[in-house]
């Protein structure tokens, strides 16, 4: 299958990258990579004053060179967060709980890096909500998730995992299951519909949020080829 071939190629590329940095701990590499990515975006923004096109290329590069998602998961928060730092913190906690439950690890520190586990990329999107007779623009979250290890890659399994094992451990996750107001919605990922899905939010609400944009790079598994990193610097 094509996905398997893509995963094998990504695994080989990831191995090549790690071999070049064997002396550094994995957590240090990830922290350094995210800080580097942030600096690149800030540099591009100062030069072009346009994050939109940059983000479009960054996102498409992930689907083409990093991994192809299999699941698209929408996550709502019960406190209706309007601060990017707040929703980023909620997502960090959910990510740690979800991955430790999925991989049966005792601590986030024990989690393997991709390709030893499914990759995940998070985005935060705004949507108008009426709260106490006034309109606010809270964030909800989209998770683009790689195919799970066989035989776990089933929607029923993801549903049980997220709603029965993860949700009770994440206080700020909306627990409702009423249709149209679910805390968690799981769908198969579709490139045509979901590939650039989260960019629409940037263009619509770019005057309401800060330079962190819609891509949660701190909680996401981002990977760039040397060629693409050079492109970012141009």
> How far is the CA of 36 from the CAs of 30, 132, 187, in angstroms?
10, 41, 32
Helix (H, G, I), strand (E, B) or coil at 126: strand
Name the strand (E) or helix (H) holding 157. helix 155-160
Torsion of CA 136, 138, 156, 222, to 10 degrees: 160
pLDDT at 64: 86
Residue in the structure block whose two tokens are 């299951």 = 177
What six digits make up the tokens of 143? 């998770």
pLDDT at 203: 54
pLDDT in tens for each of the 234 residues of the chain?
444 444 444 443 333 333 233 333 444 444 455 566 656 666 666 666 666 667 777 788 899 889 999 999 999 999 999 999 999 999 999 999 999 999 999 999 999 999 999 999 999 988 899 988 899 999 999 999 999 998 999 999 999 999 999 999 999 999 999 988 899 999 999 888 777 656 665 555 554 444 445 889 899 998 865 555 555 544
Overall domain count for the chain: 1
pLDDT at 15: 34
Helix (H, G, I), strand (E, B) or coil at 25: coil
Q: Is 111 left (phi over 0), alpha (psi -120 to 50) or beta?
A: beta
Classify residue 172 as exposed, middle or buried by CB count within 10 Å of its CB (0-12, 13-18, 19+): middle
pTM above 0.85, yes or no: no
Give the domain extent around 66.
2-233
**Beta-bridge partners for 123:** 142, 215
pLDDT at 121: 95
Q: Using CA atoms, how far apart are residues 89 and 14, in angstroms rounded to an integer?
A: 27
Using an 8 Å Cβ cutoff, are 227 and 76 in contact? Answer: no
């Amino acid at each position: 299958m094509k996905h398997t071939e893509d995963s094998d190629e990504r695994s080989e590329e990831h191995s090549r990258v790690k071999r070049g940095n064997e002396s550094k701990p994995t957590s240090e590499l990830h922290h350094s990579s995210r800080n580097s990515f942030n600096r690149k975006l800030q540099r591009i923004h100062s030069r072009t004053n346009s994050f939109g096109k940059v983000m479009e290329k960054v996102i498409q590069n992930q689907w083409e060179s990093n991994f192809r998602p299999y699941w698209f998961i929408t996550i709502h928060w019960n406190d209706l967060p309007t601060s990017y730092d707040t929703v980023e913190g909620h997502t960090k906690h959910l990510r740690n709980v979800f991955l430790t439950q999925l991989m049966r690890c005792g601590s986030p520190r024990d989690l393997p890096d991709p390709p030893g586990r499914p990759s995940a990329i998070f985005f935060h999107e705004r949507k108008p909500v009426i709260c106490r007779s006034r309109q606010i623009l809270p964030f909800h979250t989209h998770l683009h998730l790689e195919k799970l290890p066989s035989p776990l890659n089933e929607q029923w399994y993801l549903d049980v995992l997220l709603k029965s094992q993860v949700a009770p451990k994440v206080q700020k996750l909306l627990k409702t299951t009423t249709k149209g107001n679910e805390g968690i919605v799981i769908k198969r990922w579709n490139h045509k519909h979901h590939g650039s899905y989260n960019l629409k939010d940037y263009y619509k609400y770019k005057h309401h949020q800060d330079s962190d944009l819609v891509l949660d790079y701190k909680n996401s598994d981002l990977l760039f080829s040397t060629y693409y990193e050079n492109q970012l610097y141009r």
